[in-house]
Amino acid sequence: MTLADVAQAAGVSTATVSRVLSGSRPVRADIARQVRTTADRLGYRGNGIARALRQQRTDAVGVVVPSILNPFFTALVDSIEGALHDTGKQLVLCDSRQDPELEAQHLRLLVERHVDGIVVSPCDATASIDAVSRTAALVPLVQLDRRVDVAETDWVGLDDDRALGIVLEHLHARGARRVAFVTSRMTNSSTVDRLRGFEDGVRRLGLSVVPDGIVLDDFSVDSGERAAGALLDRETDRRPDAIVCADDLLAIGVLRACHERGVAVPDEVQVTGIDDIVFSRYVSPRLTTLAQPTAQMAEEALRLLAQRAVGAARDAPTIRLALRPSLVERESTRGQA
Amino acid sequence: MTLADVAQAAGVSTATVSRVLSGSRPVRADIARQVRTTADRLGYRGNGIARALRQQRTDAVGVVVPSILNPFFTALVDSIEGALHDTGKQLVLCDSRQDPELEAQHLRLLVERHVDGIVVSPCDATASIDAVSRTAALVPLVQLDRRVDVAETDWVGLDDDRALGIVLEHLHARGARRVAFVTSRMTNSSTVDRLRGFEDGVRRLGLSVVPDGIVLDDFSVDSGERAAGALLDRETDRRPDAIVCADDLLAIGVLRACHERGVAVPDEVQVTGIDDIVFSRYVSPRLTTLAQPTAQMAEEALRLLAQRAVGAARDAPTIRLALRPSLVERESTRGQA
DNA sequence: ATGAAAGCGCTAACAT
DNA sequence: ATGTTAGCGCTTTCAT
């Protein structure tokens, strides 16, 4: 069942059928109707592969994330899928499982698949450099959230410096003075930027960091729980009065550790996260956190991709779009003083 | 940069280059080496679109889920992505947002994209029938988790009858006698099957259901919280001593409602979920639930798809694979009596 | 073992 | 406004 079959059955040329079905050029109304009826009757479907080969465009975009199981990336993928669908494109989803090799392999496959563009959140700030820059040389590519510092690609993400500033100002205004920071190992850009933002904010606001107050593990509930354990099981004067977390998973772990020890949140210790994942609203106490504008991030990323797709802007200067986070005040920090 | 370019540069025919790079037929060792070197030097990439057109195979599988934001489907998609990658295929992800129209549109696009197969969890037991059966007539298709009852497709999912049986036996053994069931509206197959399983189990074990003890809303934390509110804010003798939930989101909402009211779990009320989403381990008390074997489900689904792909089994009798859930005992039900 | 050439199904340039 | 035809890049007969 091909265009040619429809053309023959309708007694017209393949070009006419193509024009009718794609609407690419005007066709006499009665012929158009006739073609459409015939196509319908035969159950003609169209072949996106043949079209893609001819048009050099697949209407597919590849997305590579470190872990779809991380609720933040789930939300991001959801936003991207929605935005893509609005423009008639589809999403090829790849999970790098935090493995640079697997990530590189996925990128290679996406290039072979000739996707129209690639959105990637590189799992490792250094180990991902090669694959990302090689790929960017072949296909429009935009980095989202995490990035590697190679000059030649656009990036959309959170303004991490400002993010930590907002959190620390909030905590400071609510009476916090001796803080701790629970984060992941410094293998990705978000982590690095957030640590810098934390240190800048501490200095600026005249806060102090408790001894061994910066704990590095990975983005998971369990490691948040461990980290908080270490911060809470010590003499009162070395305990923090606020624990800032680099993401919500860690913060939820911290809340669990507090609950376990009967440490009152927010009265004894205030706790904050980043991302505003769905579950941050459902823990007790509900988590104060910084929401990432995932819908806007997705939209901007795809806009940049589309821009690079047209030859003109192919080697325009690259853009870094740092979006503003918004504080979601809930119950794990104190009310207005 | 095409095969022809490589062929010319290496001084051989395109056929030879193709044979070398795909390994489809033996080629003299020195020529092979020469071809590979040339391809490397030129940075030749290969064009999956052209290959797909010629081979009538895209190495892509479409996946359509009701909502990627539901952690159960996230886990399922993750499992599918992993299993696909192991077989060199990629995943085209579509979210129907619980909308049968959107779902139908996604299915149509996947057919046009000529994916090798489709895995779908239909969002509506009746409204999805048309699109699913039409699609199944054109492409190998397997239903996963939810299904519509059309004869012509394979299905892989949980043994829902048995699932509720296991839960109720567990609760009964732990002293529960007057139970309630919190579930979603009867618009999808899982829901229908689970309700039947619940009613069968109640009868078999001689349990009683409290008045208005079956609450229908949707699969969300908020609706679980509402439902539990209605069950708990009543005279003691009309309260359930166990609340069975049709998924973990509902159960987490129920736990919140209990916490809010100071109702002790599991001492006053026992609570169970289904799915074993990641967060069920991180609520307080940790949730007793029924784990779905998502990895196995994904694997079986893809196996069935591959089977249908070969012409032979194209119209073999359809298969329904009901997998056995496993109980994960945590803190929201009582210990061994 | 290698090459020549057909053709997968479509669109777009060109001709009428 | 419509038809004819080349060709997107690859794999796979078929012939040698």
- Which residue of B lies nearest to A260 if distances are taken between CA atoms? B284
CA closest to C9 C1', residue: A50
Question: What's the rounded Cα separation, in Å, for the pair B80 and B96?
Answer: 17
Within 7 Å of a protein beta carbon, the nucleotides of strand D are: 1-5, 7-13
Chain centre distance of CA A325:
14
Tell me the two tokens of residue A251: 């913060």
pLDDT at residue A210 tops 70: yes
The pLDDT, as a whole number, for residue B125 is 94
Cis peptide before A211 (omega within 30 of 0): no
Q: Do B53 and A58 touch (CB under 8 A)?
A: no
Q: Do B68 and A74 touch (CB under 8 A)?
A: yes
Percent of chain B at pLDDT > 90 equals 94
Q: Any atom of strand C under 7 A from CB of B19?
A: yes
Residue among A337, A308, A328, A121 nearest A219 (CA): A121
Could you say which of 3.30.230.70, 1.10.3720.10, 1.10.260.40, 3.40.50.300 is the CATH number of the domain covering A3-46? 1.10.260.40
A259: chain B residues, CB-CB within 8 Å: 284
Question: What's the rounded Cα separation, in Å, for the pair B1 and A150?
Answer: 25
Q: Per the CATH hierarchy, to which homologous superfamily does domain A60-158+294-325 belong?
A: Response regulator (3.40.50.2300)
Measured CA to C1', what is the nucleotide nearest A54? D8
Q: Do B90 and A90 touch (CB under 8 A)?
A: no
pLDDT < 70 stretches in chain B? 151, 311-314, 337
Helix or strand or coil: residue A326?
strand
Q: What is the CA radius of gyration of chain A?
A: 25
Global pTM exceeds 0.85 = yes
Q: What is the mean pLDDT of chain B?
A: 96
User: Which of A58, A68, A283 is nearest residue B49 as measured by Cβ atoms?
Assistant: A58
The pLDDT, as a whole number, for residue B281 is 97
A60: chain B residues, CB-CB within 8 Å: 92, 113
Task: Let me know: does A14 contact A7? Beta carbons within 8 Å.
Answer: yes
A281: chain B residues, CB-CB within 8 Å: 221
A253: chain B residues, CB-CB within 8 Å: 282
Return the HEC string of A60-86: EEEEEECCCCCHHHHHHHHHHHHHHHH
The position carrying tokens 């990439």 is: B45
Question: What's the rounded Cα separation, in Å, for the pair A313 and A152?
Answer: 13
The pLDDT, as a whole number, for residue A295 is 98
Task: Let me know: does B192 contact B158? Beta carbons within 8 Å.
Answer: no
Sign of the CA dihedral with B256 first, then B257, B262, and B264 last: negative
What's the angle, vertex CA B324, arms to CA B319 and CA B326, rounded to 5?
A: 160
What's the angle, vertex CA A103, arms to CA A251 and CA B32, rounded to 5?
A: 170
The position carrying tokens 């905590």 is: A171
Question: What's the rounded Cα separation, in Å, for the pair B220 and B211?
Answer: 23
In angstroms, how far is C12 C1' from A316 CA?
Answer: 29
Which residue type occupies B82?
Answer: G
In angstroms, how far is C16 C1' from A88 CA?
Answer: 35
Rounded to a whole number of angstroms, the distance between the first and last alpha carbons of chain B is 72
Tell me the two tokens of residue A25: 């050029």
Backbone φ and ψ of A56, nearest 5°: 55, 45
Task: Let me know: does A210 contact A147? Beta carbons within 8 Å.
Answer: no
B104: chain A residues, CB-CB within 8 Å: none
State the pLDDT confidence band at A161, using cuts at 50, 70 and 90. confident
The pLDDT, as a whole number, for residue A140 is 96
Min Cα distance B71 → chain A (Å) is 8
- Which residue of A lies nearest to B134 if distances are taken between CA atoms? A43
In angstroms, how far is C1 C1' from B27 CA?
Answer: 6
Task: Let me know: does B167 contact B137? Beta carbons within 8 Å.
Answer: no
pLDDT, greater one: A302 or A309: A302
B69: chain A residues, CB-CB within 8 Å: 74-75, 78, 278
The pLDDT, as a whole number, for residue A305 is 96
In angstroms, how far is D11 C1' from B119 CA?
Answer: 28
A68: chain B residues, CB-CB within 8 Å: 74, 77-78, 81
Bridge partners (DSSP) of residue A196 are none
- Which residue of B lies nearest to A55 if distances are taken between CA atoms? B49
Query: Looking at the domain that runs over B160-291, which CATH code has it been given?
Result: 3.40.50.2300
State the pLDDT confidence band at A337, using cuts at 50, 70 and 90. low
Q: Do B113 and A74 touch (CB under 8 A)?
A: no
Q: What is the mean pLDDT of chain A?
A: 96
In angstroms, how far is D14 C1' from B15 CA?
Answer: 13
The pLDDT, as a whole number, for residue A316 is 81
The pLDDT, as a whole number, for residue B152 is 86
Tell me the two tokens of residue B304: 């069935």
CA closest to C3 C1', residue: B13
Cα distances from B8 to residues B1, B33, B47, in angstroms, run: 11, 15, 17
pLDDT digits (tens, 9 = 90+) for A64-93: 999 999 999 999 999 999 999 999 999 999
Task: Let me know: does B28 contact B42? Beta carbons within 8 Å.
Answer: no
Q: Are strands B117-120 and B90-95 parallel, antiparallel or unpaired?
A: unpaired
- The answer for residues whose C-beta is within 8 angstroms of residue A155's C-beta and 6 or more apart is A142, A143, A144, A147, A318, A319, A320, A321
The residue among A282, A283, A286 with the most chain B CBs within 10 A of its CB, best to mutate, is: A282
Min Cα distance B208 → chain A (Å) is 31
Q: Any atom of strand C under 7 A from CB of B208?
A: no
Judge if B3-46 and B60-158+294-325 fold alike in CATH terms: no
Residue among B73, B75, B53, B54 nearest B64 (CA): B73
**CB-CB neighbours of A142 under 10 Å:** 26
Min Cα distance B253 → chain A (Å) is 8
Tell me the two tokens of residue A109: 């496959």
Strand order from edge to edge, sheet including A60-65: A320-323, A154-158, A141-144, A117-120, A60-65, A90-95, B90-95, B60-65, B117-120, B141-144, B154-158, B320-323
Min Cα distance B310 → chain A (Å) is 20
Which sequence spans correspond to the domains of chain A?
Answer: 3-46, 60-158+294-325, 160-291
Question: What's the rounded Cα separation, in Å, for the pair B325 and A33?
Answer: 54
- Which residue of A lies nearest to B65 if distances are taken between CA atoms? A78
The residue among A2, A53, A93 with the most chain B CBs within 10 A of its CB, best to mutate, is: A93
Min Cα distance A206 → chain B (Å) is 35
Helix or strand or coil: residue A59?
coil
Question: What's the rounded Cα separation, in Å, for the pair A184 and B246?
Answer: 35
CA closest to C7 C1', residue: B54
B283: chain A residues, CB-CB within 8 Å: 282-283
C-beta within 7 A of nucleic chain C, residues 18-47 of A: 18, 21-22, 24, 46-47
Within 7 Å of a protein beta carbon, the nucleotides of strand C are: 1-13
Return the HEC string of chain B: CCHHHHHHHHCCCHHHHHHHHHCCCCCCHHHHHHHHHHHHHHCCCCCHHHHHHHHCCCCEEEEEECCCCCHHHHHHHHHHHHHHHHCCCEEEEEECCCCHHHHHHHHHHHHHCCCCEEEECCCCCCCCHHHHHHHHCCCCEEEECCCCCCCCCEEEEECHHHHHHHHHHHHHHCCCCEEEEEEECCCCHHHHHHHHHHHHHHHHHCCEEEEEEEEEECCCHHHHHHHHHHHHCCCHHHCCCEEEECCHHHHHHHHHHHHHHCCCCCCCCEEEEEECCHHHHCCCCCCEEEECCHHHHHHHHHHHHHHHHCHHHHHCCCCEEEECCEEECCCCCCCCC
Residue among B231, B235, B256, B260 nearest B332 (CA): B256
**CB-CB neighbours of A284 under 10 Å:** 16
Q: Any atom of strand C under 7 A from CB of A3?
A: yes
Q: Are strands B326-328 and B288-291 parallel, antiparallel or unpaired?
A: antiparallel
pLDDT at residue A312 tops 70: no
Measured CA to C1', what is the nucleotide nearest A35? D2
